[in-house]
Amino acid sequence: MPLEYIALMMVAAFFVLVLTGIPVAFAVAAVGFIFGFIGFEGWLFELLPSRIFGTITNYTLLAIPLFVFMGVMLDKTRVAERMLEVIGHASGALPGGMALAVILVGVLMGAATGIVGAAIVTLTLMALPTLLRRGYKPTVACGTICAAGTLGQIIPPSLVLLVLADTMNLSVGSLFAAALIPGLLLATLYVLYLFVLAWFYAADVPALDAAERAAMSTRQLIRDLFTSVLPPLALVLAVLGSIIGGIAAPTEAAAVGAVGAMVVAAVMGRLSRPILSETLKVTVRITAMVFFVLIASQVFALAFRGLDGEFLVEAMFNWVPGGPYGTLLFMLLLIFLLGFFLEWIQITYIVVPLFMPFLAGYPEFSTVWIAILIAMNLQTSFLTPPFGWSLIFMKGVAPRGIKTTDIYKGAVPFVIIQVAALGLLVAFPQIALWLPEAIGW
């Protein structure tokens, strides 16, 4: 049997195992081993130890547990919850003010955690009951929280960007710089949508009532802004600024961020031994998941390439009409659809390496630009009903009165905004490339 046929069977077997509910990491490793032995009787895997060793000793990937620790620490110490409360009161006099606060906190949480699931769950638990209690329409409240939490996919130091940098052999600093403007552009579009909503449908996004606003004096509000918002904001700016400015390597900046998160929590009086213990446990669990998928993907990639799978991918791209941009749009559509079934980590380590050799062959395409398109495309997939991961995360922790249809309907306007932002990024690559070029990355 030709090797290409075995490669096709390998891909089909992988999706069958995933659909049966087997964890993706186990499915991808099992398929790789089984079909690698079918095609080569196992001798191909003599190369596997060196590939795994080269991957897990990558210095850049050391930033993953450090960034995860930073985000989990800020989450467990309820720093984000306090930020939302303070910013909500600061903007509460405006219709939709609390929703704007959710978007702003989503940006800060995206920059602080880089973990979409954690951001969605945290925002849902602390913001959704508050928005509903203050009269927000359930669809608007759910959609705003899902959109704000998903910003962690594109706002640096996103784990997606960190892993894409490793997979695509790019500088982490250049990717962080390239993602900053698209991420802020997307957040700005969200804010503009909420302003329009407040203008035409103020009853759906009511302002805080006068009695609640009067409960916090201006002096108290200013003090809370300095004590509860400024420290985590300064930490995020210091970490990102040092990476983008070339002052520190990503791993060094991540270490500073991890220590800085503990300092911020201690200054706010929220650091304790139980919180530190729980933070370490969650960090180890998330990091182990990421690296286990990374190691499993090496098995799959080695077997797939040994079975001449790259020729199948090349033939598939040659079949797509429209030249370079047709190929690019086909890849984005395929990744978008895969995002319904696979998490970003599997797509990044398994799917992206199969496509990149062909897209990198087009001189008109910047690899950094393609990476940002992939990250924003995955973010759109995460937010799109009915299979978007962000919607699933929210449904898992939402109050009982929230229906699935409320979450889906609320997400639709933000999905449209995401698609528009992705279209702008495709049409105007300089949105992503201007900042890296300006600072010399």
pLDDT for res 341: 67
pLDDT for res 112: 64
- Could you give the CA distance from residue 113 to residue 126 in angstroms, rounded to a whole number? 16
Question: What are the extents of the domains in the chain?
Answer: 59-438
pLDDT for res 188: 92
Cut 0.75: pTM above it: yes
Per residue of the chain (441 residues), give pLDDT as tens.
Answer: 666 678 778 878 877 887 777 777 788 788 888 887 887 766 667 777 877 787 777 777 787 788 788 878 877 887 777 777 777 777 666 787 888 888 888 887 776 666 666 677 777 877 788 788 878 888 998 999 889 888 878 888 777 888 888 888 888 888 888 998 999 999 999 999 998 988 888 888 887 766 666 666 677 778 877 877 788 878 877 887 787 777 777 788 888 888 888 888 888 788 888 889 988 998 888 788 778 877 887 787 778 777 777 677 677 777 777 778 888 888 888 888 877 767 777 788 777 887 777 777 777 788 899 999 998 988 888 888 877 778 877 877 777 778 888 888 888 999 999 999 999 999 999 999 998 888 766
pLDDT for res 9: 84
